[in-house]
Structure 1
């Protein structure tokens, strides 16, 4: 290997190391610069002592002192590299801290379960009350875990707690009308469905350690959300199988455990799964990060096929005025799913990798989503012109307009990156900058739609 090639290989390794530190530890840019200077200084000293660039890099990473944990994780992820054996030591520090953290998570899970159980008893059998307040009974405990883990300031914690309490008062004290079958009316239903969106994005502030302006930490929260969803699906599948086998076995001996399931397993199992899943994401990030790119590459083409089929069905089904309201709601859900897939794909992508075929495939995905969104907007505007405004139509129209802006600019930035005219950082930055818009809209739906539409 020539000296020029060796130097290029060293620069590539340092770039990978820097990107890894930025992505996994959410360290400020200034700290990363300082760490990189230290690493380069170590490499320079070692090459002056007779080592070649590759050997000097291996030893320098090993000598990074306070970065032992980062180096160890970096080594584990890049297991094909020789220097894994130099960096990855068998006795990792912090195992006691991990068990202590798990103890905190389990204690919070039990507390959340108790709170849900109290809520069920206090509701007097009113399922609407339980559904309306379940999110307030669970998410604050998850926020408490991250506040403890990230050492969030009391000022930030108190502000978020006050906002959460205000939302709880709005949802419970507004005189929402009752809908058919003793369910909530439309504005009540919208409040119930949009409140979790607001609280989840507020949770992102806690997850970011209060640094909610940081685009990198917002993207970390997007990555966390996707990985948590994967863990929750796995936990649900495993738990459902275990419960099903238990119920089937005991039913053979005439033991009915369904009351026990309803009274104890469900109230404690659901918040427990959420908190334990969050802990698993934090403790075992490498497990899901290694399969995340595979998942996005599998589901992206499948989602494109689904969107194209939906678009063809809508256009071939006669005038848009004939589009069913439930179908429009389902289309909105599909578009939100596409948005999640886009966000997670961007969060899982190596920011240093050059544009490739998959980036063009994502452009096709966004383009198909934009076409479906345009058809849905046309159908909604047609229905509004014919039947007038209602709370659910305005909420759906607002969501579709937000998705249109988000996806359209994402497509423009993605096209620029795929053609080599824009850096990937611009496309990534747009995703994180736009996220608070959804929080603002969801808050408007929860707080303002009740009075605007007479709580109907």
Structure 2
């Protein structure tokens, strides 16, 4: 790559980060880029190399957060324009596209709501048939969300065929094995199939750019924002259900059947599609909230993990590695990883290491220590009492998390020491995503027959 090509790639990365800022419209990004290019040209003219000139010009321009605040103060009405259904655009073409997206979302959300009720035509019930609905729960919503994203991205037919094939494979894995309702494989299949199919949604999101590290990081950001929107919708749905019960009970009508058998299941799966649409339609309106949440909870989780390690050292007690405890510890490690991933996706890649990066390093090291303790307990129990599907799945997950956390801690340490660029840590995390998908499929497809459907 020539010096000019390398410089253009740096401009492209810088512009891609600028365009994530909700305060800045494309015209603002053009203005900033023109100013940056002019500064680079002046510095190159006085003898600096292009890469040196780029770094100096970016530093002279100032913090992107400060620039964003200046634009936000000057154009404060933009946020409100972004919050309306039209997406805050004034062009007829953009309005037409927004309406099409809205109708596509409505169709996909309705499809998800209908699909969760279809099994009732064959005598199934949410209350009685947990062994069926547990493994299949993600199949009622994720294919419709993937369909909406594929409709927006227009991927190649070959990729569409792969998406359909993976969802069919998931449906076969969820239903072909004779799993009893008390089987451990029901729970681990439900959890791991959800992970596997969410990665399929990610493939639909990145579409034909599935090799791109940047697009994978965009999917991580999409996941975080989608989760936040879903939680907000769920909280609103809880208020709606409470008012439904209160108002109908006041006139002597019990709405329990409608709320539990229609509103909650249909609304729950439809909300996943709506949340995905909101992320796409609002283009990171929530992006300023999510980094605040990561900065709030990162020190809190760090304190909790350090407190747990201190308490474990003082009491010298064993860790309970039964199913509920295993799920709890794995969820804790996943939350830590999620905090790391989302903070990476929202971070300015050109900013130098700060105190928060050191705090993240402490969080990752603490999680790594807990992962090692849990692994020691699991292997000890397996050698003493034998293995079960839960313990085997937890063992594999903790090994995978151990590898990710260990290398992340090393890269964070080197980044804090200013010996490794931030992009190396970012590429490690995005490149590791297929490992989680592969393990999830192994658990779903191999574990039930391997453990005799126990």
Interval of TM-score (by shorter of Structure 1 and Structure 2): 0.7 to 0.9
Classify 1:194/1:389 alpha carbon distance in 2 versus 1 (closer, same or farther; 3 Å).
Answer: same
Cα distance, 1:385 vs structure 2: 1.5
> Could you tell me how far apart the structure 2 residues matched to 1:41 and 1:346 are?
27
**Within-5 A mapping of 1:265-304:** 265-304=263-302
Classify 1:319/1:310 alpha carbon distance in 2 versus 1 (closer, same or farther; 3 Å).
Answer: closer
Alpha-carbon displacement from aligned partner over 1:199-241 (angstroms, at most 9, x marks no partner): 0011111100232211111100000000111111111111111
SS of the aligned residue for 1:209 comes to helix
**Within-5 A mapping of 1:109-148:** 109-125=109-125, 126-148=129-151
Cα distance, 1:438 vs structure 2: 0.6
**Contact 2:134 / 2:186 at 8 angstroms: preserved in 1?**
no
Aligned to 2:177, which of 155, 174, 183?
Answer: 174
Alpha-carbon displacement from aligned partner over 1:111-157 (angstroms, at most 9, x marks no partner): 11111111244352223212222211211110000001011111101
Aligned to 1:209, which of 204, 207, 210?
Answer: 207
Alpha-carbon displacement from aligned partner over 1:78-119 (angstroms, at most 9, x marks no partner): 25149966xx89862212321221111011111111111112
- What TM-score does the superposition give when structure 2 sets the normalisation length? 0.81
Aligned to 2:14, which of 1, 12, 19?
Answer: 19
**Contact 2:131 / 2:186 at 8 angstroms: preserved in 1?**
no
> Could you tell me how far apart the structure 2 residues matched to 1:249 and 1:101 are?
34
Q: Does 2:223 align with 1:225?
A: yes
SS of the aligned residue for 1:320 comes to coil
Aligned to 1:152, which of 148, 151, 155?
Answer: 155
> Could you tell me how far apart the structure 2 residues matched to 1:435 and 1:174 are?
27
Classify 1:421/1:246 alpha carbon distance in 2 versus 1 (closer, same or farther; 3 Å).
Answer: same
> Could you tell me how far apart the structure 2 residues matched to 1:76 and 1:152 are?
37
- What TM-score does the superposition give when structure 1 sets the normalisation length? 0.81
Classify 1:322/1:174 alpha carbon distance in 2 versus 1 (closer, same or farther; 3 Å).
Answer: closer
State the match for 1:420 in structure 2: 418
Classify 1:305/1:16 alpha carbon distance in 2 versus 1 (closer, same or farther; 3 Å).
Answer: farther
**Which shows bigger deviation, 208-217 or 438-447?**
208-217
Cα distance, 1:42 vs structure 2: 11
Alpha-carbon displacement from aligned partner over 1:57-85 (angstroms, at most 9, x marks no partner): xxxxxxxxxxxxxxxxx999825149966
Cα distance, 1:323 vs structure 2: 5.6
Question: Unpaired runs of 5+ in structure 1?
Answer: 1-13, 26-34, 49-73
State the match for 1:3 in structure 2: none
Classify 1:142/1:77 alpha carbon distance in 2 versus 1 (closer, same or farther; 3 Å).
Answer: farther
State the match for 1:238 in structure 2: 236
State the match for 2:23 in structure 1: none
**Within-5 A mapping of 1:181-192:** 183-192=181-190
**Which shows bigger deviation, 210-219 or 194-203?**
210-219
Aligned to 1:443, which of 437, 441, 444?
Answer: 441
**Within-5 A mapping of 1:38-57:** none
Q: Does 2:73 align with 1:78?
A: no
> Could you tell me how far apart the structure 2 residues matched to 1:322 and 1:84 are?
56
State the match for 1:384 in structure 2: 382
Classify 1:22/1:358 alpha carbon distance in 2 versus 1 (closer, same or farther; 3 Å).
Answer: closer
**Contact 1:301 / 1:361 at 8 angstroms: preserved in 2?**
yes
